[in-house]
Amino acid sequence: MNEQDKVGLGSLNELELYRLYESLYRIRRTEEKIADVYPTDKIKSPVHLSIGQEAVSVGVCEALEPGDYVFGTYRGHALYLAKGGDLKKMIAELYGKVTGCAKGKGGSMHLVDVANGVMGTSAVVATTIPNAVGYALGIKQQNRRNIVVSFFGDGAIEEGVFSESINFAVLKNLPIIFVCENNNYAIHSDIARRQSISEITDQVKPYGLPVRKIVDNDIFAIKNYVHSIATQIRQNNMGPVFVECMTYRWLEHVGPGSDFQLGYRSEDEAKKWMETDQLLRLQQYIKDEDRLQIEHAIDEEIEKAFEFAEQSPFPSEDELYTEIFKV
């Protein structure tokens, strides 16, 4: 066991460790199955896969309480599942079926499971950041002890609404954690080509909140840090916090394949990050017998979710004009 693992594992009990593994495994296998099925055209929306990045959603969500809330992005399968979102409803949503979590009207980029605190994901970069801040304001006004986590990519900090939202959250001392999943790219653009100050924490610090950068996709560091700040926020002695999690997308920006042929990044760069695979890292700490049992149960859960989606009907015509907002 290396030093980093000794420190990280030191604060986790066996149940917590197993939960991390289960969640990582569920997300990885679900997305691999999505990638397999995608070419059949049964999945009716574009898919932005998180393979390689799962540790961020899992590390954060395992540090939260069931009554906490998350808001995310179009790369949202991992977050939805990590927060306990219903797997069957997610797959049905991807298939465009009426049993989907958004009645088949939103697809992969618009996942929601309010009962489990997944408040929504959106195709438009940075749009759920102000939603999350507004929700945190509501919680504070109601004197509730829950917290909100806003997830977004490194590209989202380039939207004006990010600055407005973070400023307001600090000003009002809101119970929110901003989690930036920094995979170094916005579609095919490297952050070094987009930003004069490429250290995101240096850009965010002047807003007047604690900032922390966590390197290497380190799931133990993410969980332990988020748990400690969530506790402090709940005790009402800390306002917003910004956490930057360094991670890496293994597959293409959108779709199930790889994209090294495009030339904007190298396979060698990806290989280095693949060595930080948190699923493999955790495997060494789970007894083989237990691991096989966990994996078997989750494989079955995933099969059933795809069967459910296959067998569900598409929305009927009556659904065309429901859930429509008119100004």
Ligand X SMILES: Cc1ncc(C[n+]2csc(CCOP(=O)(O)OP(=O)(O)O)c2C)c(N)n1
Picked from ligand X, Mg ion, none, the partner binding residue 125 (CB below 5 to 8 A depending on kind) is: ligand X
**Binding test (CB under 5 A) with Mg ion, winner from 53, 146, 183, 224:** 183
| Least distance in angstroms from the C-beta of 78 to Mg ion | 14
User: Residue 269: CA atoms inside 13 Å, Cβ hemisphere, count?
Assistant: 15
The set of residues, in sequence order, having a beta carbon less than 8 Å from that of 94 and lying 6+ positions away, is 34, 43, 44, 45, 47, 100, 107, 108, 309
Q: What is the DSSP code (8-state) at residue 113?
A: B
* Alpha-carbon torsion, ordered 254, 256, 257, 263, to 10 deg: 10
Specify the pairing of strand 69-73 against strand 118-122: parallel
| Least distance in angstroms from the C-beta of 208 to ligand X | 23
Backbone angles phi, psi at 241, to 5 degrees: -135, 145
Dihedral angle sign, alpha carbons of residues 63, 69, 71, 75? positive
Give the residue with the Cβ less far from ligand X, 60 or 238.
60
Give the residue with the Cβ less far from Mg ion, 197 or 324.
197
User: Which of the ranges 34-42, 146-154, 222-230, 254-262 carries the binding residues for Mg ion, by CB under 5 A?
Assistant: 146-154
Site string for ligand X, 70-109 (x = CB under 6 A): -----x----------------------------------
Residue 31 interacting with ligand X (CB under 6 A): no
Find the binding residues for ligand X in span 235-274 (CB under 6 A).
Answer: 253
**Binding test (CB under 6 A) with ligand X, winner from 185, 225, 248, 306:** 185
Residue 124 interacting with ligand X (CB under 6 A): yes
Residue 108 interacting with Mg ion (CB under 5 A): no
Q: Report how far apart, in Å, the C-alpha atoms of 93 and of each of 43, 103, 105 are.
A: 9, 7, 7
User: Which of the ranges 29-37, 134-142, 151-159, 308-316 carries the binding residues for ligand X, by CB under 6 A?
Assistant: 151-159
User: Which of the ranges 26-34, 79-87, 178-186, 283-291 carries the binding residues for Mg ion, by CB under 5 A?
Assistant: 178-186
Residue 29 in tokens: 């296998």
Specify the pairing of strand 185-186 against strand 69-73: unpaired
Of 108, 137, 110, 107, give the one whose Cα is nearest residue 121.
110
Q: Which residues bind ligand X (CB under 6 A)?
A: 75, 123-125, 153-156, 183, 185-187, 253
Q: Which residues bind Mg ion (CB under 5 A)?
A: 153-154, 183
